[in-house]
């Protein structure tokens, strides 16, 4: 009888054990999303093989592999990568059933799926900056903070912000803003957490960053606990709709070359499930896109975050080369 039971278990589990894995190319950091991938495997029995890398690297790899690519899903950290993949014809259309998201973020093409969003913000040292500017455009006029401002001019989110600045206010306005900021002698960083730690320790008064870096320094994330618990650092949102509050979307799409689109679509649907959206909010400090998803006390409620944020049509982010050219011309790239 014992052998019969073992044989039945083998017959039931063998298809899952030997099935080809679902292959995901992920621009999202392994340390942040790997636990969620393993939850999907445990709940569905679908094996997932993830190739982690930078969005741009994975996009170029998909182009080089063409129809030979083993990837089923491209999960990107930036909307620019998603738009470029869509324009290159890499994504298959998605069924209406998994596209029930705020229309503000969903692409008209229906070929990729927004999953979470982050906001550009101004991090402020408490008690030192009594009246932060209402618009990011006013920041260069704050000469009292010369040498006390931090930014990450080569970081992808900053490049996205400059792209939005160009799209909304024009090339010359973006150039003037960049040159005005340079005149304040800001400290340039290659990553955001060291910048926020300097802010917490008093080496800076202001820093242009993404909201979740401030929260990770104060409250922690999956990778570690808080790096500076109780730090005198707070988030300043510019006036609602200001380009300084740019919403940066993460998302995913099913590739045209996917071997099993049903399994790939199931993975995307899982990313919008109550479980996954709660994971992003509580473990990663990102804003969920599933309406009604609870958020931790230190994160704005979704509706308030949406009200304050600025959203740019995704197509504008495909013109990143023009932004890089401008950054090179002003000596920042």
pLDDT band at residue 3 using 50, 70 and 90 as cut-offs: very low
Q: Is the pLDDT of residue 225 over 90?
A: no
Domain boundaries, the chain: 2-117+247-299, 118-246+314-329
Q: Tell me, what's the pLDDT at 5?
A: 37
Q: Considering the entire predicted model, what is its pTM?
A: 0.86
pLDDT band at residue 223 using 50, 70 and 90 as cut-offs: low
Residue (of 267, 273, 307, 287) closest to 40 by Cα position = 267
- Domain 118-246+314-329, architecture per CATH: 3-Layer(aba) Sandwich (3.40)
Backbone φ and ψ of 113, nearest 5°: -120, 120
41-62 pLDDT, tens per residue? Answer: 999 999 999 999 999 899 999 9
pLDDT band at residue 36 using 50, 70 and 90 as cut-offs: very high
121-140 pLDDT, tens per residue? Answer: 999 999 899 899 999 999 99
Q: Contact, 76 vs 90, CB < 8 A?
A: no
Backbone φ and ψ of 252, nearest 5°: -150, 155
CATH entry, 2-117+247-299, from 3.30.70.960, 3.40.190.10, 3.40.50.1220, 2.60.120.680: 3.40.190.10
As a whole number, the mean pLDDT across the chain is 90
């Amino acid at each position: 009888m014992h052998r019969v039971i073992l044989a039945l278990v083998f017959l039931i589990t063998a298809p899952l054990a030997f099935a080809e894995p679902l292959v995901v190319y992920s621009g999202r950091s392994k340390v942040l999303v790997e636990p969620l991938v393993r939850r999907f495997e445990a709940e569905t029995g679908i094996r997932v093989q993830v190739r982690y890398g930078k969005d741009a690297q994975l996009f170029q790899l998909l182009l080089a592999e063409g129809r030979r690519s083993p990837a089923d899903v491209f999960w990107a950290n930036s909307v620019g990568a998603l738009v470029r993949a869509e324009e290159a014809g890499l994504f298959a259309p998605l069924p209406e059933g998994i596209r029930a998201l705020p229309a503000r973020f969903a692409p008209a093409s229906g070929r990729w799926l927004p999953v979470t969003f982050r906001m550009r913000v101004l991090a402020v040292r408490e008690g030192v900056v009594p009246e932060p500017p209402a618009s990011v455009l006013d920041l260069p006029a704050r000469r009292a903070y010369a040498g006390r401002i931090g930014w990450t001019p080569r970081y992808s989110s900053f490049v996205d912000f400059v792209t939005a600045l160009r799209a909304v206010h024009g090339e010359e306005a973006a150039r003037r803003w960049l040159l005005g900021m340079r005149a304040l002698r800001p400290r340039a960083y290659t990553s955001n957490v060291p910048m926020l730690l300097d802010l917490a320790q008093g080496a800076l008064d202001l820093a242009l960053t993404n909201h979740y870096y401030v929260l990770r320094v104060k409250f922690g994330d999956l990778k570690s606990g808080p790096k500076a618990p109780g730090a005198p650092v707070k988030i300043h949102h510019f006036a609602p709709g200001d380009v300084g509050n740019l919403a940066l979307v993460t998302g995913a799409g099913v590739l045209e070359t996917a071997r099993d689109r049903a399994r790939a679509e199931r993975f995307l649907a899982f990313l919008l499930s109550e479980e996954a959206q709660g994971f992003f909010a509580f473990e990663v400090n990102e804003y969920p896109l599933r309406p009604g998803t609870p958020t931790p006390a230190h994160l704005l409620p979704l509706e308030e975050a949406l009200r304050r944020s600025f959203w740019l049509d995704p197509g504008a982010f495909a013109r990143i080369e023009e932004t890089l050219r401008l950054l090179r011309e002003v000596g920042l790239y």
